[in-house]
Amino acid sequence: MTGTGYLVMKTIHVLAVVLFLGNIMIGAFWKIHGDRSGDPRIIAHTLAGIIRADRWFTMPGVVLLIIAGFGGAGMGRISIGGSAWIVWSIVLLAVSAVAFMARLVPLQRRMLALARDASGADGFDRATYAALSRSWTVWGIIATLAPVVAVVLMVFKPGA
């Protein structure tokens, strides 16, 4: 498990985790920061930036994480099915992906549309935005905690 190819894959895997989790956590920070302004233009700008950052950092991070994870396991001759910590980490990554794609992405788009439409005759629907934002927070916690637990499993390797 110490060949150069394995170590390269392991390094890419760790960097991908940093990219993936880092962007998720920073996105939450910026959303809170934008929301505190109360200005729908700032909120819209912030959400558009979060969505763009997800395309540039979160998604590539996930792709690299998966490729390098499986590549490293193959090069290191690590049995995926025989390692509960790997299986559970994959399950947790899948939970995060489902929460992100099925819930967070649609919520972000709806909040962005609501904030962008705030200049219309009806103004900013703060109650609807607040309800969407609460849901975004719940699903965001799920989408973030699942891979954080996976990182803990990867470091401690219980049962290995």
Q: Is the pLDDT of residue 121 over 70?
A: no
The residue range of the domain holding 148 is 4-156
pLDDT of residue 160: 73
Supply the pTM of this predicted model.
0.91
Q: 119 vs 63, which has greater pLDDT? A: 63
Domains identified in the chain, total number: 1
Q: Is the pLDDT of residue 2 over 80?
A: no
pLDDT of residue 60: 97
Q: Is the pLDDT of residue 1 over 90?
A: no
Instruction: Summarize the confidence of residues 85-99 as an average pLDDT.
Output: 96
Residue the block writes with tokens 């609460």: 134
List of long-range contacts for 39-45, beta carbons under 8 Å, 24+ apart: 40/114, 40/115, 40/116, 40/118, 40/119, 40/124, 41/115, 41/118, 41/119, 43/111, 43/115, 43/129, 44/112, 44/115, 44/116, 44/118
